[in-house]
Chain A
Amino acid sequence: MIAELGLAALWLAAALAGLQLVAGGLGLTTRGAVLGEAVRPVAVVQGLLALIAFACLIYVFAVTDLSVKLVALNSHSMKPLVFKIAGAWGNHEGSMLLWVTVMGLGGAFVALVEKRLPERTMLATLAGQAFVSLGFYAFLLIASNPFERLSPVPMEGNGLNPLLQDLGLAFHPPTLYLGYVGLSIAFSFAIGALVTREVGPAFAKAMRPWVLGAWIFLTVGITAGSYWAYYELGWGGWWFWDPVENASLMPWLAATALLHSCGVLAARNALRAWTIMLGVVAFSMSMIGTFLVRSGILTSVHAFAVDPQRGTFILALLAIYIGGALTLFGLRASTVTEGERFALVSREGALVFNNVMLSAILGIVLFGTLYPLVAEAMGAKVSVGPPYFNPMGALFAVPMLVVLMVGPLLRWRQDKFARIGKGLVIPAMLVAAMALGLVVVGGVALLPFLGLALAVGLAFASLLPLRGRNLRRTPLPIWGMVVAHFGIAVALFGMSSESAFSIEKLVAVRVGEVAQVGPWGVKLDAVEPVAGPNWTAMEARLLVRYGVGGKVLRVLPQSRSFWAPPQQTSESALLTRWNGQFYAVLGGEAPKAEGGDRWQLRLWWKPFAPLIWIGGLMIAFGGFLSLIGRVMADLRRIIAKDKIAWRRERQGR
């Protein structure tokens, strides 16, 4: 019953999206203006209906209704409730439903709160949003109905991949989707502005909070995903350049560029066509990422060709939306008049540089991600990994980081390096000192070397915009910029330190034996069987001590066996200190040797590794501060307007 209710809500939502598109489109004409009135309420109801459908899906998962095919395939009655619920979006159909739900709610939210845009642009924006939603509704209803029933009803479900039974990961997809879909709103804004030819500071100011919000979610999602891969997969790495990771990184790169070009457009009315273009590209990257992850094409081009319906459907959607948007852009770009001019050495100049570098990195990542697919279609099987991505990415990231130290200090329109030169003496000296220190230490590879040296300089330089300001009266967006840029320095330091100074030890030890990894002494105290709700495990008790006089601490890495579906995972154990992380993984039992059983242990000491994710969260927090500042300013403006109107009314009486 509930499943049918969900399906009905989904059909209704799709129908309303159609209505929203037509009414919005006709509302732009002089004769259909009256239809325009309907667009906002329709957008709100459409969002609510999508939410109802999604709530129904969560319900059938929560009660493990095995007559629903999706539940039978992806859930199990013995799972903890939180994972039953998370299971609702831990699969293809459910995640697509989550996608349209967030899109619908985003559209509803825009319809309710966006007051800054001219009415016509607003209509075109909501119509654009409906147009994109419609494709995804069609995809759900035609090619992947999440509410499909199953007959006969099975006795038990298939279960959920144990790797995914992790709280952090359960909420990872929704976070990323909020980011992706926030970009869909920027995309719709761009389409709206192209249709009505109204590109200017007002448009950028209206679009900016949405881009900022999306970007915050993407930043948090990528940071959390990286940490999950780090502790859950037990490989000791935090970024694998895996296509699934790249699928979330590419929209982030585009959104970062868009955020900065939005700033130029809002403050200086320059980079007009470029901002529109990035708005289109950012959401296109979200869709391409989703296509890569959700179509099965990553697993194998052949698998994709065997069951091509879904993939072809998403591919067609991509072609329609991206192709359509770029065509519209091509037709209208020439009518977007040129914005204000600026000198090469200026805040705009630095931001343009940042944008071009980010776009280049985006291109590098996109190429590297798609290349194996293209190669496989031509009959060669290749994989592309860090040896390609790291140096190629760094080639453009390093100059960008150098400019990042200078950019925020420059004035708009035009400036001279001589004016800001004094402030940069200290960061330059810090970079030099760090570089010198690393040369003395020796043995550090080029990329981490550059990373560490630039990180200390950037950490200092990123604080310079606060110099000479009254800190209590500094606007929040400035604080946001400073915190986010400082976060980049922190994350960069963590990444570089982790890759330069990590120590790894792989040993097979008997109970009672001691191993040494970096400054840590590790003693295998015992190995015992333990059991959880749906798994059993071997658990190693390690007694570890940092240095000679440190406290003895206990860590408990496990090797877990799940029985539905049958799979083994290794639960790593982490110990975090101020200067790094100790990381332990329990392997299997080593072959018999003299003097008792031996167990395989993989141990790491990773100096300053936690800074990677602390920095990531700082970047997101900086974005959050900016967003609060912008929204507060908007609210103040609205309240002030209301007050003036109210006074006028009183005086008029």
Chain B
Amino acid sequence: MATAVKAKHQRLILLVVALVVLIGAALLAAWALRNQASYFYVPSEIVAKPPEADRAVRLGGMVEKGSLKTAADGVTVNFVVQDGKARVPVTFRGIVPSLFVEGSGVVAEGKMGADGTFVADNLLAKHDENYVPREMQDMTREQAEKVMQETK
């Protein structure tokens, strides 16, 4: 490449190269999204059709009254998330959000363990009226009323 490009259409070459890279990036992104996006489940769905092991998913539902237990180490909590149709035990090691209480909604991010216990690495509780995790808004609309009535 001692001399400048003699090609007549340098712009065309650049355009083609840029397009190839960008389209490649888009295809790659589409493939990665299919593999990496974390799906949202409610308990009845996750029990009926568990996700593959090691796949990060989100589980949303109501914290069952009377199910919240803190382990001896003082930082691990175990509780049950339910949607009126199914119950899923969840374990979480960490500081729970301030609005995380029994009988209200939660979204747990994590993985489904082999023994049927959901291992959460993050909990989202109902924040305040202005900020609600996306899934919870829908959940409160679709299932929460039912859940509320059934857990009263």
Query: Interface of A with B (CB < 8 Å)?
Result: 161, 273-274, 298-300, 302-303, 338-339, 341-345, 352, 355-357, 359-360, 363-364, 367-368, 371-372, 375-376, 380-385, 387-388, 391-392, 395-396, 413-414, 416, 506-508, 565-568, 570, 585, 587-588, 590-591, 593, 598, 600, 602
Contact = CB atoms under 8 A, between A and B. Distances in A.
Contact of B37 (A342, A388, A585, A591): A388
Chain A contact residues, majority secondary structure: mixed
Contact of B4 (A339, A341, A363, A590): A341
B29 A299 contact: no
Interface string B79-114: 000000000000001111011000000000000000
B106 to A, nearest CB: 15
16 contacts: A161-B131, A299-B134, A339-B11, A345-B1, A356-B17, A360-B22, A381-B39, A413-B4, A414-B2, A507-B75, A570-B95, A587-B96, A588-B95, A588-B98, A598-B74, A600-B74
A273 B134 contact: no
A273 B11 CA distance: 9
A341 B10 contact: yes
B130 interface: yes
Interface residues of B, number: 49
A466 B28 CA distance: 39
B47 interface: no
A356 B30 contact: no
A602 B97 CA distance: 13
A343 B1 contact: yes
A368 B3 CA distance: 41
Contacts, number: 145
B14 interface: yes
A273 to B, nearest CB: 7
B35 to A, nearest CB: 8
Contact of A391 (B32, B70, B129, B134): B32
Contacts of B32: 388, 391-392
B141 interface: yes
B21 A360 contact: yes
B74 to A, nearest CB: 2
Given A363-B25, A591-B74, A342 B4 contact: yes
Of all A-B residue pairs in the complex, the 9 with the closest CB atoms, nearest first, are: A508-B74, A590-B74, A568-B98, A587-B95, A381-B40, A388-B36, A360-B25, A382-B37, A367-B29
Contacts of A376: 134
Given A363-B22, A565-B128, A591 B70 contact: yes
A383 B137 contact: no
Q: Chain B CB within 10 Å — which of A382, A395, A602 has the most? A: A382
B40 A302 contact: no
Contacts of A591: 70, 74
Contacts of A565: 128-129
A144 B136 CA distance: 27
A600 B33 contact: no
Contacts of B145: none
B67 interface: no
Given A161-B128, A299-B132, A506-B75, A383 B29 contact: no
B37 A375 contact: yes
A365 B82 CA distance: 34
Contacts of B26: 363, 367
Contacts of B1: 343-345, 414
Contacts of A359: 18, 21-22
Contact of B141 (A302, A360, A383, A588): A302
B57 to A, nearest CB: 9
Given A356-B17, A372-B37, A383-B40, A338 B11 contact: yes
A384 B10 CA distance: 38
Contacts of A273: 11
B3 A384 contact: no
B39 A382 contact: yes
A371 B37 contact: yes
A343 B95 contact: no
A566 B126 CA distance: 13
B22 A588 contact: no
Contacts of A391: 32
A161 B30 CA distance: 36
B48 interface: no
A356 B22 contact: yes
B33 A384 contact: yes
B95 A600 contact: yes
B53 interface: no
Contacts of B134: 298-300, 372, 376, 381, 383
A342 B5 contact: yes
Contacts of B115: none
A595 to B, nearest CB: 12
Contact of A567 (B3, B93, B94, B128): B128
Contact of B96 (A352, A371, A395, A588): A588
Given A342-B5, A591-B70, A352 B14 contact: yes
A590 B58 contact: no
B58 A299 contact: no
B151 interface: no
Contact of A602 (B56, B95, B132): B95
Interface string B35-53: 0111110000000000000
B75 A381 contact: no
B33 A367 contact: yes
A383 B95 CA distance: 22
A300 B138 contact: yes
Contacts of B33: 367-368, 371, 384, 388
A359 B72 CA distance: 51
